[in-house]
Amino acid sequence: MERHTSADPACARFAPLIHERVDGALGAGPQPDLDAHLASCAACRELLADLDAIRWTASEIPDFTPRPEVWASLSQRLASDLAARPRHFWSGTRVALAMAATLVVAVTASVWLLRSPAQAPVPQASAGSQEGAAAGVIQSNDDVVKDVDEHLRIADEHYVKAIAGLEQVVKSGEGSLDPALAATLQKNLGVIDQAITESREAIKTQPNSQLAQTSLFEALRQKVALLEDTVALINVMRKGDQAGAAKILGGLSKS
Amino acid sequence: MAVTPSERTEANRLDRDIVQRCRRGEMGAFEELYKRFGSRLYTVAYRITGSAADAEDLVQDIFLQVYRRLDSYRGEAALGTWLHRLAVNACLDFVRSKQGRRQRVTETAEDLDALPAPAAGPWRADAALDRMDLERAVAQLPPSYRRAFMLHDVEGLEHHEIGEALGIAEGTSKSLLFKARARLRVVLRGRPGER
């Protein structure tokens, strides 16, 4: 006969055991007593069912979405880490990666922010509303993404043109450099070229990878900087300006 | 919804694939890993620390740890499980390091005063519990109840871990959880008689 109510002292004694049972943490000792009580108490059976439902439904509470800046920052830290451990990533390009890790080009940082609209850390919506929201975001950012791609293409062209011009200048003045120094510069340029090639390959397979884009533009920037320094070095060497040459070489060794 | 064996097999294949590509050094693999698990790990960090700023720092630290420790992943557990465990440990380490500087969470008189009013639309005895209703009810819980509930019933932490995270005894964690559930039941059912 079911004679208990939720205020019954017997029920109050069994309540913690019911919670433990819901958690799968009830020992074998109190199990028979609880079973017997449940068999005769509708209120406690209801409590058990409710707690089960709460526990089950709680597991479906959705996650929060971190702000896009978190990945932007993480990708920079990751790049630094990768540079410090080149055997794992792009082995053979450690110099270029180390350089790539030290600075992140503003254009790619802004690309990330443009690609990923700012979001507060709010719970993810249910499947239906999420699809709707996602569709809205994609549509409203479509033009922005196109703009970004166009800017990336223009920036890439700019770098390639600048590099071609500088390479020509360097080639014509290479004779002014000490052969050992010229060989070192050439070797460094080769390492950067390798990084550029691998970055382009990475972008081909992962077109939206901010890390690959960052690495490409940083490698391009480094190449421009190295060529500019080389041109400046050629100029001061031609003038016999040893102090100027030492200054440029000092700057090169720090980069 | 239950995961079917074929879905689990596919998930395992994806796990192995992404881990292999990360180990090989494919640039996009980590980005993919972040896209798949970033929200999950951020949420774990947010729920344990109770701070969005700390959670943002922590999720970055966790992913860097993942990169450094990926060689130790043997595939015995699902990748998500392995990452979750790693994240929980990192968050508990973080909380422990802050413990001395922070006020411990206790069950205070204020908590009890803040007990919520019953929900407008009660959960009927013959109906399934709606997730949104549960979320709304959880939001009304006093902070100490809410955190104990979220960490145990949502994140799956053990009471000793919750004790570490909140700076309370294991028994207190259990007590807070039971009271939180009982309070939720009262709010959802819209009737007195908390147990």
Beta bridge partner(s), residue A64: A123
| Overall domain count for chain B | 2
> pLDDT (tens digit, 9 = 90+) per residue, A50-74?
999 999 999 888 899 999 999 989 8
Q: What pLDDT was estimated at residue A41? A: 94
Output phi, psi for A64, to 5 deg. Answer: -90, 155
Given a contact cutoff of 8 angstroms between Cβ atoms, the answer to whether A100 and A79 are in contact is yes
Asked which of B35, B70, B101 is the last residue of a domain, the reply is B101
Whether residues B77 and B125 share a domain: the answer is no
Which residues in chain A touch residue B130, judged by CB atoms under 8 angstroms apart? 57
Domain containing B158: what range? 109-189
Instruction: Give the CATH number for residue B160.
Output: 1.10.10.10
Domain presence at residue B194: no
Which residues in chain A touch residue B42, judged by CB atoms under 8 angstroms apart? 63-66, 70, 121
Which residues in chain A touch residue B39, judged by CB atoms under 8 angstroms apart? 63-66, 124
**Residue B182: closest CA among chain A residues belongs to which residue?**
A51
User: Which percentage of chain B shows pLDDT scores above 90?
Assistant: 37
How far is B63 from B83, CA to CA, in rounded Å? Answer: 9
pLDDT band at B112 (very low <50, low <70, confident <90, very high): very low
> pLDDT (tens digit, 9 = 90+) per residue, A103-127?
333 334 334 444 444 343 445 544 4
Asked which of B101, B117, B145 is the last residue of a domain, the reply is B101
Q: What pLDDT was estimated at residue B122? A: 66
Whether residues B84 and B38 share a domain: the answer is yes
Domain presence at residue B11: yes
In three state form, how does the secondary structure of A209-250 look? CHHHHHHHHHHHHHHHHHHHHHHHHHHHHHHCCHHHHHHHHH
Chain A nearest-CA distance from B56, in A, is 6
Given a contact cutoff of 8 angstroms between Cβ atoms, the answer to whether A66 and B59 are in contact is yes
Of residues B5 and B139, which shows the higher confidence score? Answer: B139
CB contact under 8 A, B52 and A90: no
Residue spans per domain, chain A: 9-58, 68-254
CB contact under 8 A, A212 and B26: no
CB contact under 8 A, B154 and A61: yes
Instruction: Give the CATH number for residue B52.
Output: 1.10.1740.10
Beta bridge partner(s), residue B17: none
> pLDDT (tens digit, 9 = 90+) per residue, A197-231?
888 888 887 777 777 777 787 778 777 777 777 77
Among the listed residues B83, B115, B93, the one whose alpha carbon sits nearest the alpha carbon of residue B179 = B115
> pLDDT (tens digit, 9 = 90+) per residue, B126-169?
678 888 899 889 988 988 898 899 999 998 899 999 998 888 99
Which residues in chain A touch residue B189, judged by CB atoms under 8 angstroms apart? 50
How far apart, in Å, are the Cα atoms of A120 and each of A129, A142, B16?
Answer: 17, 21, 32
> Residue A175 pLDDT more than 90?
no
CB contact under 8 A, A60 and B131: yes
SS3 (DSSP) at A26:
coil
How far apart, in Å, are the Cα atoms of A239 and each of A73, A242, A243, A244?
Answer: 45, 9, 11, 10
Whole-model pTM above 0.95? no
Whether residues B96 and B113 share a domain: the answer is no
> pLDDT (tens digit, 9 = 90+) per residue, B48-64?
888 899 999 999 999 99
Given a contact cutoff of 8 angstroms between Cβ atoms, the answer to whether A68 and A120 are in contact is no
Asked which of B69, B101, B133 is the last residue of a domain, the reply is B101
Given a contact cutoff of 8 angstroms between Cβ atoms, the answer to whether A57 and A84 are in contact is no
How far is B183 from B142, CA to CA, in rounded Å? Answer: 10
Question: Which of B1, B3, B24, B27 is the best residue to mutate to test the A interface, defined by the most A CB atoms within 10 Å of its own CB?
Answer: B27
> pLDDT (tens digit, 9 = 90+) per residue, A88-102?
333 333 333 333 333
Given a contact cutoff of 8 angstroms between Cβ atoms, the answer to whether A48 and A38 are in contact is yes
CB contact under 8 A, B184 and A89: no
Whether residues B78 and B12 share a domain: the answer is yes
Domain presence at residue B195: no
Token pair belonging to A30 = 């109190």
Whether residues B84 and B118 share a domain: the answer is no
ipTM over 0.90: no
Whether residues B91 and B147 share a domain: the answer is no
Q: Tell which A residues from 6 to 65 touch B, by Cβ distance under 8 Å.
A: 6-7, 11-12, 15-16, 19, 23, 46-47, 50-51, 53-61, 63-65
Which residue among A15, A54, A121 places its CB closest to the CB of B52? A121
SS3 (DSSP) at B75:
coil
